Chain A
């Protein structure tokens, strides 16, 4: 299948007072058409920087060191701001984490949704019809009567549905979902995931799904990108990564998943140590300092991606033997 998004060797630095912070280092992955790819990793691993780079919404102090991100032949990192603006919302779109703040509080829902179609050459009545149509699809009851409602008149779950409707209205090729269920409670989470799944199969877009909830990733995605300290440490199909993780970090991450903990314990498992200082990344393997398997080789040599099987690789010298 043809890749919708192909990211290669993406490296992004931030200029800070303490020096250059290497927020993303050599990130590569691809998303096929109609595929849902998950991104997991702890806070600060570069998930948000990845989204911001793809959307070209990085802060001013960010420096693109290298890399390309091809969205169907167009390099998102190289095209002009004007071209990028034309792509946003149309070919590539985002659903954000917190639905409570993702909508303009002083403009009615209907007005906001008509407004985002400002580039379309169609009549206002048609735009309105489209809005009603997509709101119905995301499960807002009686959408026509809700158009004049303001965001604060909706509950959190309903607002996230509205946000999803806004993101999908132009039928983008790629939807980036930035922890869209983190701010919702568990029952709503399931509903929103089902909704995303339904809409995805109907519209046929690809989704890059960011989350730190492993259960959600396992449920929704076909492939997973595991990130640690700005690097992709493992990439592969969901079933393989969850059943036989090849990178020690993935393994530790899975051990810490509350859904998988079998024994009762007073202390929840965690990964000892802390994230390395990315202004001065330690030599060798980035995970070495927290890894049980670390050897002399891990200090001397940065591990390359080791193929474990087709479409499954890990950046660890012992990826295969760890199986």
Chain B
């Protein structure tokens, strides 16, 4: 199989717009949570979320004008805007904008979303109710379809290789990176722009996850303390929004053009729980098998894993993943660090696996594990170092990024320093 490396990164997160801005705030232990402003949350139970900080584009704020003209932006849901923005950052970071047709045909796009244009669906439904079907925008469907990020990015840069999209709830971002890497390994493309995007902080999104009893509800007085994976007082996840996009590239292709190489995609594993529509199997076997498959493809012994970026959503399921990791690493668990960066970013659903994959790649680049903030009283004892409230400077040569989604879908991506 051909080797695949990461040569470009792009992030739009609740911490900041921009890779280095998001990363430095994550390492500093900051939180992206605050009161909901995307809509008036008067009718919903949870009134806080992790929103992308809008602004003029300076100091890590997100300025939509930097990525799309207002007249184009009107035609797409925000999840597409965030996806295009992170893709633009990643493509520019990789310096890969081929002019020749052959190279464009060898460059593909695989960007997914968990839910897609939920807010557009909500708004258009109200238009039909209030004004009738003749007022439905011709841009509603192409502005809400999940694969339209891949389509838009392909159009923007002329990338004519595989144009695909993943929809596996909260595993989307991880599956997109893993599947895109396989397209390169298999020879269908030399370069893939891959990742996930989400923008579901709207009334129907919050109400829907509230109804599933999945969201934190008790921290309206202090939203920044609400996302607290592994902590005894956790009470659900905090909804986040944004996008994470990577540029994946065949190793020799990247070397030949002198590209900056962040890390290598060493392995990728997938599994299904076959258990329940929203709850993970209590025994954590699905996550365990995904991680084991990823390490198998990587040719890496569990004892070599330095860092795990956990799925860890700040729900009761956190401890199920914890036990699966302990089972995987055995005695080596005592020398590994595992953190949940959702403590800082909230849960970006379909974008989560992508932004966390990027944090994992940066952990390898900078030899540091980002912290699990708000972890004051661990709910269980574990030999794993959960990096409570402080980053851990340590060796990170091999790392896993886990993502598990509704429907019992599990993904784990193994990244490593290029050897």
Partners in one complex: no
